[in-house]
Amino acid sequence: MNLKRSITLGVFIILTLGVVLSRFYLNVQSEYWDGKSKAVETAYEKSIMTKATKVDFFYGDEPFQIVYGEDKIGQNLIVWVSDKEVHSEMSDEGFTEDQVRDVILKKGQDFEVQRVIPGKLGQDYVWEVFYKRQEDGGTRHFYDYYKFKDGQYLDTYRLSLQ
């Protein structure tokens, strides 16, 4: 009888812990999911986007939600959404993500691209490329910025060795 009571208590504790942790997770993530939903709604209202496929977050001088999607005839579109502005560009009218990746790989074969996302640097809409490279003494991370329209190089931020 004592073994049965211990098993019941153990199952109760595990179930209670599972419910509490899942509620905590949902509570923590709800703000993130709400931000994505609001960005998509704003993109639908203030641009020609009719279908959203992905949302990224860009944290620069001003944070943006980057909404990828299509217009009503299926052309790819990217929309930058912030608290202050909404800006959209047709994907094929600018420098592409693949072209930006190629530029980085031409700089050095030992560069490992971690992420490429649209963003804004100063007044320019850009591609932000986050990459790393092994150097003597450790790994160095870099942020490169290229104009979204034509791929013109703007700046590199070099982080300390890790």
pLDDT per position as a tens digit, 79-93: 999 988 999 999 888
Instruction: Check residue 91 and give its pLDDT.
Output: 87
Number of domains in the chain: 2
Q: Which of the listed residues 92, 115, 134 is the one where a domain comes to its end?
A: 92
Residues 73 and 31 placed together within one structural domain of the fold: yes
Residues 6 and 76 placed together within one structural domain of the fold: yes
Question: Which residues are paired to 118 by β-bridges?
Answer: 127
Q: How is residue 146 written in tokens?
A: 């290229």
Residues 9 and 66 placed together within one structural domain of the fold: yes
Mean of pLDDT over the chain: 87
Burial (0-12, 13-18, 19+ Cβ within 10 Å), 45: exposed
Residues 67 and 139 placed together within one structural domain of the fold: no
d(CA 30, CA 24): 10
User: What CATH number did the domain enclosing 148 receive?
Assistant: 3.10.450.40
By residue range, what is the domain housing residue 86?
A: 2-92
Residues 128 and 108 placed together within one structural domain of the fold: yes
- pLDDT above 80 for 29: no
The 3-state DSSP class for residue 94 equals coil
Residues 17 and 79 placed together within one structural domain of the fold: yes
Q: Which of the listed residues 92, 117, 134 is the one where a domain comes to its end?
A: 92
CA proximity to 85, closest of 147, 43, 131, 32: 43
Answer with the residue of higher pLDDT: 147 or 21: 147
Residues 101 and 86 placed together within one structural domain of the fold: no
pTM here is 0.75
Residues 10 and 79 placed together within one structural domain of the fold: yes
How much of the chain, in percent, has pLDDT values that exceed 90?
33
The string of pLDDT tens digits covering residues 131-150 is 888 877 788 898 999 999 99
